[in-house]
Amino acid sequence: MTARESQQLEIMMAQLKEIKSDISELKERVLDPDNGLIVQTNRNTWWRKENDSLVREIPELIQFKKTTYRILWIIVTAVVALGVRVILMHS
């Protein structure tokens, strides 16, 4: 084996060690029992199942809010119009 081949082999070994450390880090992030990817995914799934009914109610609440605002504007407009009419009648 020549010096050049030996040098290339050492470079490859260093790269393999780096890849191995990267894989170990990724494995730790995925499988960590406290904050790993799998645990976070399970928490997210649990939350979505628990709150699915609430999330489905949001469009209904938005529609209720729009309707309530419309009714309030109609009432306020009617009260103002009545007030102006009363003032004009007594003038």
Query: Is the pLDDT assigned to residue 85 strictly greater than 90?
Result: yes
Q: Is 44 in the same domain as 60?
A: no
Answer yes or no: do 90 and 60 share one domain: yes
Claim to verify: residue 6 and residue 25 sit in the same structural domain: yes
The boundaries of the domain holding residue 74 are 56-91
Say if residue 4 is in the same domain as residue 30: yes
Q: What is the pLDDT of residue 80?
A: 96
Give the E-state strand segments of 4-87 in sequence order.
Answer: none
Q: 35 versus 84: which is more confidently predicted?
A: 84
**Both 25 and 8 in a single domain?**
yes
3 and 44: one domain? Answer: yes
Q: pLDDT tens, 52-67? A: 888 888 899 999 999 9
Are 84 and 65 found together in one domain?
yes
Over residues 65-74, the pLDDT tens digits come to 999 999 999 9
Contacts of 28 (CB under 8 A, 6+ apart): 36
Confidence of residue 34 (pLDDT cuts 50, 70, 90): confident
C-alpha dihedral sign at 77, 78, 80, 85: positive
Based on the structure, what is the number of domains in the chain? 2
Residues 1 and 42 in one domain: yes
* Residue from 40, 22, 44, 20 nearest 31 by CA: 40
